[in-house]
Amino acid sequence: MSKLFIKCPRCKTTHFISFLKHSAYVCSKCGYHFRLDAPKRIKMLCDKGSFREFDKNIKSLDPLAFPKYKEKLEASMNKTGLKEAVVTGECKIGGFPTTFGVMDPRFIMASMGSVVGEKITRMLEFSYENYLPAVLVISSGGARMQEGIYSLMQMAKTSAAVKRLNDRGLPLFTVLADPTTGGVTASFAMLGDVIIAEPDALIGFAGPRVIQQTIGQKLPKGFQKSEFLLEHGMLDMVVPRKNLKAVLTSLLEIHSTRPYENLRGER
């Protein structure tokens, strides 16, 4: 791929990369939402200069001595300049303070190993301690196979942290981008108090190929896409990328006061 141009994977229109950022990395012809890395998301959603990163020095180990895992980690770190597949911190969105986490699909498909689970849990715990809402922008291939059972257990760890946050009357807002699958969908992604998805994102538990192999028939059109999930009651809204910041701002504003204090013991 040349560095100046990029082809839309859906309608094959060629775009100047430098122009694409003016349209929030959405194809001007067909509306395809290009996958975004974490730094771009932060720039797009957090108020300028407000993002303060947490835990940027946590790195994965190779607890199972899994074939080729170390090399994979090394390559991902070199490619992205990140230490792991999620960036977490606190920031302001539309003037409202919140914790903010974003997954980076360039890093082993933003799969969840110990570090991703730990950073997200710490971020949720920071919200809990400091009475802040939490926003997570998610895209992930699911649990990180190379960390075996440790990665599976991150699902329990993060889900318990969301529960604690909610018990204190604090909200989690999740934004699901393409793709959100497997163990990440089956934990914090689907636990948002409000769940937003970008248009046409693949969202599901089992991958389409696995399902097709199991049932041996063709999958319906639009299966496991955002609009399909909205229709089946699994999401609150599908929001085009250019409106995302405005929608998050509104959500944070509505949740910034409690007209009726029914959690005296907890708060």
Partner 1 sequence: MNKEIEREIKHLKDKVKKLKDRVLKGNKKEAKKIEPLIEEMSSKIQELERLNAQVKPIDIVRLARHPKRPTTLDYIRLMIRSFMELHGDRRFADDQAIIGGIGFLNDIPVTIIGHQKGRNTKDNLKRHFGMAHPEGYRKALRLMEQAERFGRPIINLIDTPGAYPGIGAEERGQAEAIAYNLYKMSGLKVPIVSVITGEGGSGGALALGVADRVYMLSNTIYSVISPEGCAAILWKDATKSEEAAESLKLTANDLLKFRVIDDIIEEPGEGAHTDHEETAKRLKSKLLETIKELLTKDLSTLLRERYEKFRKIGVFVEDMPEDPLVKM
Nearest residue (CB) to partner 1, 26 versus 124: 124
Nearer to partner 1, 27 or 204 (CB): 204
Quick check: 162 binds partner 1 (CB under 8 A)? yes
Answer for which of 4, 11, 30, 219 binds partner 1 (CB under 8 A) is: 219
Number of residues written out for the chain: 267
Residues 43-62 that bind partner 1 (CB under 8 A): 52-61
Contact 236, 194 (CB under 8 A): yes
Whose tokens are 């957090």? That residue is 46
Which of 24, 223, 230, 236: binder of partner 1 (CB under 8 A)?
223
**Cβ-proximal residues to 250 (8 Å cutoff; 6+ apart), any chain:** none
**Positions 229 through 248 that interact with partner 1 (CB under 8 A):** 232-234
Q: Site for partner 1 (CB under 8 A): which residue of 9, 67, 95, 240?
A: 67
CB of 20 to partner 1, least distance (A): 31
- DSSP sequence for 170-225: --EEEEEEEEE-HHHHTTGGGG-SEEEE-TT-BB-SS-HHHHHHHH-SPPPTTTTB
Task: With beta carbons less than 8 A apart as the criterion, state whether 244 and 175 touch.
Answer: yes
In degrees and rounded to multiples of 5, residue 50 shows phi and psi of -90, -15
Binding residues vs partner 1 (CB under 8 A):
52-61, 63-64, 66-67, 114-115, 117-118, 121, 143-145, 147-157, 159-164, 167, 182-183, 185-191, 204-207, 210-211, 214-215, 219-220, 223-224, 232-234
